[in-house]
Amino acid sequence: GESVGLHLPTLSVQEGDNSIINCAYSNSASDYFIWYKQESGKGPQFIIDIRSNMDKRQGQRVTVLLNKTVKHLSLQIAATQPGDSAVYFCAEGQSGSARQLTFGSGTQLTVLP
Amino acid sequence: KAGVTQTPRYLIKTRGQQVTLSCSPISGHRSVSWYQQTPGQGLQFLFEYFSETQRNKGNFPGRFSGRQFSNSRSEMNVSTLELGDSALYLCASSLAFRPGAGNEQFFGPGTRLTVL
C-alpha cells in the first residue's frame, strides 16, 4: 500500500542552526499534510499543516514546504533550540474523505549544545 | 482547556487476556481517533469515532474494537492479547471527523501496554 516515509532516521544540528527534516509521500490523492513533534513519553504534538493548494506555509520558527511534483514535504526549523529535540513525523490525509492519516516513520532530531 | 486524557497510562497484561483503554477528548471535540505506535510499524491508524459512530477503520484484526459514548469519551478494547499487541496506544481528538485546516488532531499522552 501507499505510505509516507522519511528520508533520514536521525538528524543532529548545532543549537542556533536551522534544521530541515524531509518527508516523501506516495499517495497522489493526499491533499493535506501535517507535521507532528513527539517528545519522549508524550503523544505527538501538532506543529503545522499545509493543504495541497499551497507550496509553503510559515509558523512560529517553522516553515513547511510542499513539492507536489516530486511528492516531497519538508519542515524547516529556524534557530533550532534544545527544546526542539524530539521525533518529528509527517502525516498525510485526504480532506475530502473520512480521516485516516498515514504517518511517516519519524526523524529523531538532536540539538547539540 | 484540558487536553486529551488517557487512562491508564501503563498496563501490563498476559497473553490471552483482554484490555480496555479509555480516552477523554478535549471539551467540545466530537471526533476521537485511536492509533497504535510501535518501533517497528510506527504510528498506525486503528479507528475513528464521531457522534458515537465508527467512521473509519484501519487494517487491524477484529480483536481490536472501540466505542464512543454520548459525552464523546471513547474506549478501545483488545481481546485475546498477543505479544505483538505491546505498543503505545494513542488517542487523538478533533472537532470534526474530516481532516483539514482548522480541524487538527490533538493527541493524548498514550497508554503503554505491555503483553507478557
The per-residue pLDDT for range B47-85, each reduced to its tens digit, is: 999 999 998 899 999 999 999 999 999 999 999 999 999
Residue B83's SS3 state is: helix
| CA distance linking residue A33 with residue A90, whole number of Å | 7
- pLDDT value for A6: 41
Residues in A touching B58 (Cβ below 8 Å): 100
Q: Per-residue confidence of chain A (113 residues) as pLDDT tens digits?
A: 334 544 458 999 999 999 999 999 988 889 999 999 999 889 999 999 999 999 999 999 999 999 999 999 999 999 999 999 999 999 998 876 656 788 988 999 999 98
Q: What is the DSSP letter of A52?
A: T
Average pLDDT, chain B: 92
Task: Determine the Cα–Cα distance for residues B99 and A63; give it in Å rounded to an integer.
Answer: 20
How far A17 CA sits from the closest chain B CA (Å)?
Answer: 28
Measure the CA angle with vertex B11, ends A110 and B40; round to 5°.
45
Interface contact B106-A46, CB threshold 8 A: yes
Nearest-angstrom CA–CA distance, B107 and A3:
21
Q: Which amino acid is at A41?
A: G
Residue of chain A minimizing CA distance to B104: A46
Interface test mutation site (partner A, options B33, B38, B45, B106, max chain A beta carbons within 10 A): B45
**Separation CA B65–CA B88 (nearest Å):** 16
Nearest chain A CA: its distance from B31 CA (Å): 10
In which residue are the cell numbers 475513528 written? Answer: B48
In degrees, to the nearest 5, what angle opens at C-alpha A77 toward C-alphas A31 and B32? Answer: 45
